[in-house]
Structure 1
Amino acid sequence: MRIGIIGTGSMADALGTSWARAGHDVLFGGRSPDRAQALAGRTGSSAGTPAEAAAFGDATLLALPYDAVAEVLPPLGSLRDRVLIDCTNAIGPGCTLTTGHGPGAARTIADATGARVVKAFNHLPAHLWAAYLETATAFLIGLWHAGHDPRTLLPPLTAVRP
C-alpha cells in the first residue's frame, strides 16, 4: 500500500517507520524538507512536500500539531473522496477543545479538503504506537468484546469543555 504522511514529528516517525518496516511504500511530506529527508533516509522511504504526500498515497496520514493544520491544508488542494487519517488533537491549555462548540477537528478538515477523514491513532502517545501498535489495538478490541466501551475510560466531553 502507498501511504503519504503529512508531518515529520513523533507520530509521523512512529507510524511511518512501522508501516515502512511492514513493506508499505511511504512518502514523508514535511514543512521541513530536511526532517522529511532524514525520516525517509532512515526508513528507506521517499521524501517530499505535504502536497506530494497527499497526492502520493492510497491513504494519507495527517500527523501535525492541530494548530498547524489551517496553514498546511490550503496548498494541498482538493482531496475529494481520498482517505485522510487524522491523528491530530485539537486540545489546548487545560485540556480544553480548541474547536470550542463548533464542528470538531475531523469535520473541519473534511470540509476544508473534501477528504473522507478517519480519526485514528490520536488517543495514545507516539512511543506506544512505535512499540505496541498491535498490542494497543488488541487491548482495545479485547475491552470491546468483553462488553466494555473503551471510550468510557475517557472523561465525558462536558468535563473538558470550558
Structure 2
Amino acid sequence: MSTKRISKEFAEVSQNPPEGFTITLPPSASLHTWHIVLTPPPSSPFHPGRFGIILTLPTDYPFKPPVVKFITRLYHPNVTNDSLGNVCLGILKPENWKPSTKIAAVLEALRNLMIEPQPDDPLEERIADEYRNDRPAWEAKARELVNRFALEEPVFPAS
C-alpha cells in the first residue's frame, strides 16, 4: 500500500506542486526519497533563496511521518543551524501525525514556516530568542545566510 500511495502523491505534487516548490526523484529513483527545492515567497526574509530539502518516506508511510531535512543552510529557529538541517514541524511530530495527512500539506507547512517561524517550538533556542526580541538582527542574519548559501541551485548529495 505504501508504494502505491507514495506513487500517487508524487504524481500529484510533481505535476501540480504547491506554490514555490519543485519536486523530483533522485537519480537512484527511489520513491522513498524526494528532492525538493523551495523558493520562499517575497514576503519571507529567505526570499530569493532556493532551498534544497530531502524528504524521506519511511517504509511504513503513511502510518509514520516523513522525515524532512534542509540541505541548504539557513538561519531559522525551527531548523538546526548545522549541516544536518533537521526541522521541527508540528505536523510531523509522531503524536500529531495522521495517516490521512498528505505530502502536499507537509510542503505547505514548510512553506509557512519560512514565512512565519514558530519560536515557541524551536530547535535553536538562541535563534528563537533573537527572532522574538530583535527581529531586525534576526532578519539580517537570515538574509546573510541566504546570500551565502541559497542563491544558487541546491546541490543534492549523491544517493
Q: TM-score, normalised by structure 1?
A: 0.23
Richer in helix (by share): 1
Richer in strand (by share): 1
Larger radius of gyration: 1
Give the TM-score normalised by the residue count of structure 2.
0.24
